[in-house]
Amino acid sequence: MNSFLEEQYHRLGISKEVLQFGESMEQELFDRFLEIDARAEANQLKVIEAMQKNRVSAECFNQSSGYGYNDMGRDTLEKVYADCFKGEDALVRPQITCGTHALALALMSNLRPGDELLSPVGKPYDTLEEVIGIRPSKGSLAEYGISYAQVDLLPDGGFDFEGIQNAINEKTKLVTIQRSKGYATRPTLSVDRIGELISFIKKLKPDVICMVDNCYGEFVEEKEPLEVGADMIVGSLIKNPGGGLAPIGGYIVGKKECVENAAYRLTSPGLGKEVGASLGVIQSFYQGLFLAPTVVSGALKGAIFAAKMYEKLGFDVIPNGTESRHDIIQAITFHNKDAMIAFCEGIQAAAPVDSYVTPEPWAMPGYDSDVIMAAGAFVQGSSIELSADGPVKEPYAVYFQGGLTWYHAKLGILSSLQKLYERKLVNL
């Protein structure tokens, strides 16, 4: 590393010892980074092809207001998403406020009283517990007479096929498959493994709807869950597909009927996709999608860099430094509250926004314990931007993700290690 670069890191608080340790880890990742770049190139071409096919033009960026009738930009973008993710139709709207909202919308619009929802991959992400009614909440699926069944993964992370077969019954209407790990230290599901699970379920009950929570997984692989049999994929635009530019929004892509059901639930029966103004954010949706493959590649490099470093220091990491990647999240288990908090403080200190703020655990809505979150983002809560969070309870695992560029992700990880090093929580 040249002296100018060393000086820049030093000015940002990174010591020589931490920098040298990071450099040694980075050199070992050269071939993996080349693979990530090649995949990003393939996904970039896929996005461009979808945009060209649907004749995206400057007129698509015009703002609509009020009812949003005949919003060409909105309607074209949904065709782009459908083609890009290989679905029949898509709903991509700023009126979908977050990933949890998108998932709730997909579930509530495609389930009816008396139906049963099945999760064959264990407990879903914490914020969905109240949507489903696992934890009582106003307006939950349980309040509408929709029951819930769950089959946990096997201890080795495999699917409990016998348990799934026993759980599926005449009431089972929709199966939800969470691709990413959420606040659990389990492996993320690859697209191929999701396909294997869907194939098994469809043989048992062909008409069941298979929905994939695709959050954090978009553009990590060369194909998406709709290509292996999913009926519907759901995600947030302030994660991967928004490329760091989308200021809000969510998407649902898949079978036309599933998407139509969601559109009528989002707006109103009789209105559906015909209304919903783009409100001046549509260009950021297009440009964010265009940049997404490159942004995701930087986040992936950061995740692998973090895994490599913290695994070397003796911490449990999922995935480890050599495993294949299927989302942008890196779990690091500290078994130490102080180490977990120090890590998050380091991530915050590396942010371009609010770097001077010290993150503290707090009772965040939708969670059953205090949560610590580090994020100095241009878009509030954007987890494609450099961020880290986790519930402050045993095993004190932190979930790191994002970084709009590889260089920022690298700085964040070095900064996190610097905090642990200064507090003598690690030895280099």
| 3-state SS string for 217-267 | CCCCCCCCHHHHCCCEEEEECCCHHHCCCCCCCEEEEECHHHHHHHHHHHC
Beta bridge partners of 211: 176, 232
Report the C-alpha gap between 344 and 346 in whole angstroms: 5
pLDDT of residue 224: 98
Q: Are residues 344 and 391 in the same domain?
A: yes
Query: Is 382 a domain residue?
Result: yes
Angle at 39 between CA 35 and CA 44, to 5 degrees: 145
Structural domain boundaries, residue 74: 64-279
- Residue 57 in any domain: the answer is no
Does residue 49 belong to any structural domain of this protein? no
Count of structural domains within the chain: 2
- Cα 282 to Cα 129, 233, 235, 245, 320: the distances in Å are 31, 21, 17, 10, 38
- The answer to whether position 54 is within a domain reads no
Residues 21 and 134 in one domain: no
The reply to whether 221 and 303 lie within a common domain is no
pLDDT score for 396: 95
Same domain for 191 and 105: yes
Does 163 lie in the same domain as 39?
A: no
Check residue 335 and give its pLDDT.
95
Regarding whether 297 and 210 lie in a shared domain, the answer is: no
Tokens at 14, concatenated: 């990174």
Instruction: Let me know: does 29 contact 413? Beta carbons within 8 Å.
Output: no
Structure tokens that stand for 268 in this block:
């109103």
- Can you give the CATH number for the domain in which 8 is found? 3.90.1150.60
Q: Is 141 inside a domain boundary? A: yes
Look at strands 172-178 and 209-213 and give their pairing.
parallel
Q: Quick one: 78 and 215 in the same domain?
A: yes
pLDDT of residue 192: 98
Tens of pLDDT along the chain (428 residues) come to: 788 999 999 999 999 999 999 999 999 999 999 999 999 999 999 999 999 999 999 999 999 999 999 999 999 999 999 999 999 999 999 999 999 999 999 999 999 999 999 999 999 988 899 999 999 999 999 999 999 999 999 999 999 999 999 999 999 999 999 999 877 778 899 999 999 999 999 999 999 999 999 999 999 999 999 999 999 999 999 999 999 999 999 999 999 999 999 999 999 999 999 999 999 999 999 999 999 999 999 999 999 999 999 999 999 999 999 999 999 999 999 999 999 999 999 999 999 999 999 999 988 776 778 899 999 999 999 999 999 999 999 999 999 999 999 999 999 999 999 999 999 999 99
Contact of 339 with 348, CB cutoff 8 Å:
no
At which of 279, 310, 335 does a domain end? 279
Q: Are residues 295 and 315 in the same domain?
A: yes
User: Which of 253, 279, 305 represents a domain boundary (last residue)?
Assistant: 279
User: In 118-254, where does DSSP find H-type helix?
Assistant: 126-132, 161-167, 191-204
pLDDT at site 366? 66
Shared domain check, 374 and 296 = yes
CA dist., res. 46 & res. 94, Å (int): 23
Last residue of a domain, one of 235, 255, 279: 279
CATH of the domain at 186: 3.40.640.10
Same domain as 301, residue 235: no
Same domain, 216 and 90: yes
Burial 309-327 (b: 16+ CB within 10 A, else e): bbbebebebbbebeeebbb
Q: DSSP 3-state helix, strand, coil percentages of the chain (rounded to 5)?
A: 45, 15, 45
In this structure, the answer to whether residues 109 and 257 fall within a common structural domain is: yes
**Is 408 within the bounds of a domain?**
yes
At position 392, the amino acid (one-letter code) is V
Instruction: Specify the 3-state DSSP secondary structure of 388.
Output: strand
Instruction: Give the whole-angstrom CA distance, residue 351 versus residue 415.
Output: 10
